[in-house]
Amino acid sequence: MPDKPTRTFLRHRPKIAARNTIVRSTALMEMKPKVILSEAMCINLTISANLLKRLLKRKRGFNSVSSASVGQSFIIRFPMRNFLHPFSLSLFLTAVCLSTGCDNKPAPTSAKTDMPVQSAQSHPLDSEKKPFSKIDPVETKQSQEPVTLELNAPGGVSEAPKSGGVDHNDPTSYPVTKLLERQPGQLLMLSWNVESDGSKAETICQQLAEMNTDDRYDVIALSEVLPENFSKFRNALGKHYKYAYSKSGWHDRLQILYNEDKFEKVRHLELDDVNVGGRYRAPLVVQLKERKTKERPDELEFMVMVNHLARGKSEIRQKQAKLLVEWGREQNLPVFGLGDYNFDYVFSTDKGNPAFVNFMQDGIWRWVKPAELIDTNWFDNPDQPDGKDDYPGSMLDFAFVAGPAKDWKSTCTVIVRENDFPDDEKTSDHRPYELATQK
């Protein structure tokens, strides 16, 4: 069993992985492919690590990689339903050819890789849809142990600090959040990664309605939304909430809902340039204008952006961060950037990954850092479950402000609900957070 300082490739899909059959045996170390039809109607193809790297150089789009590989072999899972897509079928045949020696090019010798991997339910072209690691730098180890990732190499995972009587090494120890009453003139926004096919829409609807009691939130920004759930989430809030949604992202869409009694939509758009190569997700932006009232005659106008940046390839996420900086530089209206940025901020080091560094350059964006740092994401490896979060004291979800909004008074609060962690097959593996802001 790997020591605590290591991170496995399997990161965000414990529920999906647990539901699918993965076949493991000592025969996986053979160079020849082993093709098995699983109970989940997936074809599991086994290839060696070197051949996998060669496959990655050609095409991406395989469904997932087993984190419990034997030696340096890997299991690639191809859902049979994806064979309807010619790209996926071509990819599968390429993998078989590589494994059987049809391609006689020498295998690369470098042990370095940064593999984009997918959930078992994702689209074949969305190769980085789900992170199987919270941190990108990767070094495969030539041993009989499962392939692992190291956080903040060479030091590994640092112990999360204890503060205010809260043990950051145990994300279940945080007290339930008591939100402050809304102040006059305040705007309140909620952001939440609802974990697409890893949760149940009925449960998320109920939780959204509970958090939005008495129409607490003016704007709600959601990431990882299944397209069929757009209207369900709106109905849970009430029909006076209107919404815009992203067209990119396959099964992991973005959605912004707003209270139409208070705001009118000026426009909405997707930042297609940030969707590098058209294979990831374009940030969704909604421009809102406050309806004129006696209390608010100035008709405040602002923009809300929700993000879910690329996970699988560090260089793609770094490029997206730079593009968002350039976009933010050009904005004259107040901008609020919400969502799951995959910036891997670690409490004990007070540092994020290189994309976080890129995003904070030039001071275009200001992070509304929570007064109390609270772990926003739960993961317990289903292959070696111990009932504990494998990566405590870190966060993926952020609230940023740009333009004139940097001069507003803003606070961010991660919302801890009773028994929210560990999550289950009905609930999200992320915690929501609230942004309160006032001009």
Can you give the pLDDT at residue 2? Answer: 38
Nearest alpha-carbon partner for 118 in 271, 344, 313, 276:
313
Class of domain 166-438: alpha beta
Can you give the pLDDT at residue 137? Answer: 37
Give 150's strand partners.
6
Can you give the pLDDT at residue 382? Answer: 84
**DSSP secondary structure string, 19-52?**
HS-----GGGGSSS-EEEE-TTSEEEEEEEHHHH
Q: How far apart are CA 64 and CA 23, in angstroms?
A: 13
- Domain spans of the chain? 6-150, 166-438
Q: How far apart are CA 402 and CA 416, in angstroms?
A: 27
Largest CA distance in the chain: 76
Phi, psi of 154 (to 5 degrees): -90, 0
Cβ burial, residue 122 (10 Å; 0-12/13-18/19+): buried
| pTM (2 d.p.) | 0.67
Q: Is the peptide bond before 86 cis (omega within 30 degrees of 0)?
A: no
Q: Is the peptide bond before 154 cis (omega within 30 degrees of 0)?
A: yes
Q: Which residues contact 241 (CB under 8 A, 6 or more apart)?
A: 220, 234, 257, 258, 259, 260
State the helix-helix crossing angle for 230-237 and 201-211, rounded to 10 degrees: 30
Can you give the pLDDT at residue 215? Answer: 97
* 439 residues of the chain, pLDDT tens digit each: 334 333 333 344 444 433 333 333 333 333 344 444 444 455 555 555 555 544 444 433 444 443 333 344 455 555 554 444 544 555 555 555 444 443 333 333 333 333 333 333 333 323 343 433 343 433 222 333 332 222 332 222 334 445 556 778 889 999 999 999 999 999 999 999 999 999 999 999 999 999 999 999 999 999 999 999 999 999 999 999 999 999 999 999 999 999 999 999 999 999 999 999 999 999 999 999 999 876 666 789 999 999 999 987 899 999 999 999 999 999 999 999 999 999 999 999 999 999 999 999 999 999 999 999 999 999 898 888 999 998 899 999 999 999 999 999 999 999 999 999 999 999 999 999 999 999 9
Q: How far apart are CA 230 and CA 269, in angstroms?
A: 17
Indicate the residue type of 112. K
